[in-house]
Amino acid sequence: MDLVDPQQAAAAARTVLTSADIDRVLTRIAHEILEANKGGTDLVLMGIPRRGYPLARRLAAKISAADPTLDADAITGQLDVTMFRDDLAHQPTRPPHPTELPASGIDGKVVVLVDDVLYSGRTIRAALDALIDLGRPRAVRLAVLVDRGHRELPIRADHVGKNLPTAAVEKVRVRLTETDQPAVDEVVIEGTA
């Protein structure tokens, strides 16, 4: 819900990751994931809608490029957490997104949850609950493009594209070519004093 006056926002916006930056940090995360998992065995990437899913697809492509035995499509899924949120009665109604499991399922797999911004940690809490209803992974890890701090739950990311110290009044806005108009890749901070 963008209620900020676009002109005002543009004036106050500051780009923290450009398109090239995003590609670079995703490449790094892809390699970190492979390294932490000691290869591609049993690896599954579950993106959290909306922007976590395209990020998961991009990561899967990079992983598959590094390890051609892995089929990017076969190891990527989408995990909708809407129904598991703790704020359903306090936010405008959110229509749920479909949940799509990779062909191999998640039982016994190492599931990497992928999201764009890690903030309070509540989305990831919901994602963990959602995941448990779908099966029993061997391990669950978390990869995020940006960690902006202000955690409200004991949750941390295993793989972080960029740590971004922010004030609570600021807004971190991620735009991806797959999900946003205008179709650009960038991360900006808005509402900076």
Residues that bind other proteins (CB under 8 A): 80, 82-84, 88-99, 129, 133-135
Based on CB atoms, which residue is closest to other proteins, 68 or 92?
92
Total residues found in the chain within this entry: 193
Q: Are 122 and 87 in contact (CB under 8 A)?
A: yes
Based on CB atoms, which residue is closest to other proteins, 36 or 134?
134
- Nearest approach in angstroms of CB 112 to other proteins is 21
- Nearest approach in angstroms of CB 136 to other proteins is 10
- Nearest approach in angstroms of CB 15 to other proteins is 32
Based on CB atoms, which residue is closest to other proteins, 39 or 96?
96
E strands present in 75-185: 76-78, 110-118, 139-147, 159-163, 171-175
All residues at 6 or more sequence positions from 43 whose CB lies less than 8 Å from its CB, including other chains: 33, 34, 37, 63, 70, 75, 109, 110, 112
- Nearest approach in angstroms of CB 125 to other proteins is 12
Sheet holding 14-17, edge to edge: 14-17, 186-190, 171-175
Give the C-alpha separation, 105 to 97, whole Å.
Answer: 18
Based on CB atoms, which residue is closest to other proteins, 19 or 82?
82
